[in-house]
A and B are shown apart, each in its own frame.
Chain A
Amino acid sequence: MLLRIDPAASAPLFEQLVQGVKEAVAAGQLTAGDKLPSVRELARELAINPNTVARAYERLEAEDVILRRQGAGCFVKEQRSSLTARERKRRLAAAMRRVVTDAFHTGASADEISAALEAELDRLDFPEDSP
């Protein structure tokens, strides 16, 4: 797993870590069962505060992205959504609204936004039988 962080960026480090792991999972660089580095290893590798890594892992666990096994470490979870169809639809709509709103304000046209969305989707690794 290749996580990049930028301490000078506007997003807090811990959010960058959470986002980085989520992106790696979505892009198929991390798959179910993969073991994440320990808090200490990752903190050392990135030269950042271990408290920050621990907090990012807690968040990822709370969001069902990873699973912490006592004494064994953190593993990527099977990305099978436990959401109901209706809840999934609601969250998807909210996420899309955020994305297209930001995209609109860049001044891009609808076609450009569509093309950019396609390109991003191509980067992702969807399960075979995804609905």
Chain B
Amino acid sequence: MTDSPAIRFDALRRRYGERWVLRGLSFEVPRGQVYALLGRNGAGKTTALRTLLGFLQRDGGRTEVLGRDSAALTPEVRDRIGYVAETPALYGWMTVDRVLAFEAGTRRRFDRDRAEDLLERLGMRGRHKVDELSRGARAQLALAVAVAARPDVLVLDDPAAGLDAVVRRELLEMLVDAIAEDGCTVLMSSHVLSDVERVADRVGLLADGRLLVDASVEDLKRRVQRRRVRTAADAPPAVPGLLAARAVSQGFELTLLDHDDARQAALAAAVEAVSPAETPSLEELFLDLLGGHGTAGGPPPGAGPAPTGAAPAPDTAPTPDDARPLGAVRHHPANGSPT
């Protein structure tokens, strides 16, 4: 049991009516790791998390938490999972104290002292009603309650959405504490990439219902670089490892994977000039890779200018062959190379 990953997605498929939201989502989170699931609004992050927790049915594939099928989680396993929804499910009429008493009554491993500790540190009073709390305070209460139940797996759906920097830092500290104290596994979706850069061991970029990238943050920094090239051509040079290209004045800005000396030589020969390498931040990488991805399967980046009004990708379930592993960084160039 301890050898199985804490979380496993295996070719998960899910549709709403005729629209496929997840088309073969696969990744694993080893125990004790922090995994951040990134993607644009509507990419299917919440659907993935809720399916993992067994709240939604699958239309194909399989998901597991702590080695158990999501579709058949026992109360014992559920007790080991913490979940904070994007809009935390708290009763507005309850006082903070009442929330803690309620949680203590429903969750076997709930540590009330710890919850009170966490809330005291934030200056939150027990007699306040949830309705009277600010949005940030409600998010903090929800995370404190989840963490105090000492979960083995913590699933967070965009916990920092719309919150200010101070509240976000406090949430981050609480999360860091929980990881340090309990060694829990974390799967979080997020749009706050500077936070993700701080805490995530790995990131997955979700687009078109699958992972465009599944890599450690360090790997991304080590293996992905950006260079500007000057060229008169109206398409980016077709070099191996090209993840994305953006037209800039007199040329292109390229995002390149595993750009070694040989590839650099090939690139230099294909264009007039190449700038020194820069490492993109996670935010820049996100923009590079997902900038061209709509929520319903637009054309991929690096495939030249997006054809406006082109027929959308067919909403069919993909074949597993669609995945083209590139070492730890997986990338799906989809519509062929830019030529």
A-side interface residues toward B, CB under 8 Å? 7-14, 39-40, 43-44, 46-51
Contact = CB atoms under 8 A, between A and B. Distances in A.
Contacts of B217: 12-13
A50 B179 contact: yes
Nearest to B283: A8
Interface stretch (B168-176, B205-213, B306-314): B168-176
Interface of B: 32-34, 169, 172-173, 176-177, 179-181, 194, 197-201, 217-218, 221-222, 278-279, 281-283
A50 B200 CA distance: 10
B201 A49 contact: yes
Nearest to A45: B173
10 contacts: A9-B279, A13-B217, A14-B218, A44-B180, A48-B176, A49-B179, A49-B201, A50-B176, A50-B180, A51-B33
B278 A10 contact: yes
A78 B284 CA distance: 42
Contacts of A51: 32-34, 179, 201
A47 B172 contact: yes
Contacts of B32: 51
Given A11-B221, A14-B218, A47-B169, 15 more contacts: A7-B194, A9-B279, A10-B221, A10-B279, A43-B179, A43-B180, A44-B180, A47-B173, A47-B176, A49-B34, A49-B176, A49-B198, A49-B201, A51-B34, A51-B201
Given A40-B180, A43-B176, A48-B176, A12 B199 contact: no
B173 A44 contact: yes
Contact of A8 (B34, B176, B194, B199): B194
Contact of A13 (B173, B179, B198, B281): B198
Given A12-B221, A49-B34, A51-B34, A7 B198 contact: yes
A42 to B, nearest CB: 10
A39 B179 CA distance: 11
Contacts of A12: 217-218, 221-222
Contacts of B169: 47
A104 to B, nearest CB: 15
A2 B205 CA distance: 34
A50 B279 CA distance: 24
A44 B176 contact: yes
Nearest to B177: A44
B181 A40 contact: yes
A9 B280 CA distance: 9
A7 B282 CA distance: 9
